[in-house]
Amino acid sequence: MEYKTINIKTPLTDEAAAGLRIGDRVRISGVIYTARDAAHKRLVELLDRGERLPFDLGGQIIYYVGPTPARPGEVIGSAGPTTSYRMDAYAPRMLEAGLKGMIGKGARSEEVVRAMIERRAVYFAAIGGAGALIARSIKEATVIAFDDLGAEAVRRFVVEDFPAVVANDIYGGDLYKEGYKKYAAVEPNSD
């Protein structure tokens, strides 16, 4: 299988999502939002009450991150991905409300994968442990909601060439499952 490198501009459109396949490397530019589990809980509560969210979810990408504070002269501190399964309880509801992409690390639940297929959404994997390198792609960072959550507050990031890999596509492709299959098929070294 040959993987491509694709430049993506946000918001993520149906057409852009349709062109992505698992394993493709992407460089995301534009606006993305941040939220972790505490913020997701609040966002879903707002949705369930019919209240307005702090940003329109339509076509948006949420990065699962709790960045460290910025040093003087920097936009943001280290901004590595959070383990995504912590958001799995909330992701289907967020996708239903228009969310188009998610960035994190680790595999997603079957329920989230089904919701991504149904809603034509994509999950991108970012490299864990590379938070300082990822932070270089973040050009602006502004807290827009839930400031009381500190590092887990919802932020609006303006990013340029944010690096990620398509881990789940709209067709049901799952890079984690494919990786497991390939690993299991490797014969142990008999030396």
Q: Count Cβ atoms below 10 Å from residue 98 Cβ, excluding itself.
A: 15
For residue 184, which amino acid is it?
A
Q: Count Cβ atoms below 10 Å from residue 114 Cβ, excluding itself.
A: 14
Q: Count Cβ atoms below 10 Å from residue 7 Cβ, excluding itself.
A: 10
Q: Which positions are catalytic?
A: 40
Q: Which of 128, 19, 33 is nearest to 6 (CA)?
A: 19
d(C-alpha 170, C-alpha 176), whole Å: 15
Helices (H), the chain: 14-18, 37-48, 91-96, 110-119, 131-135, 175-185
Cis? peptide before 69, omega within 30° of 0: no
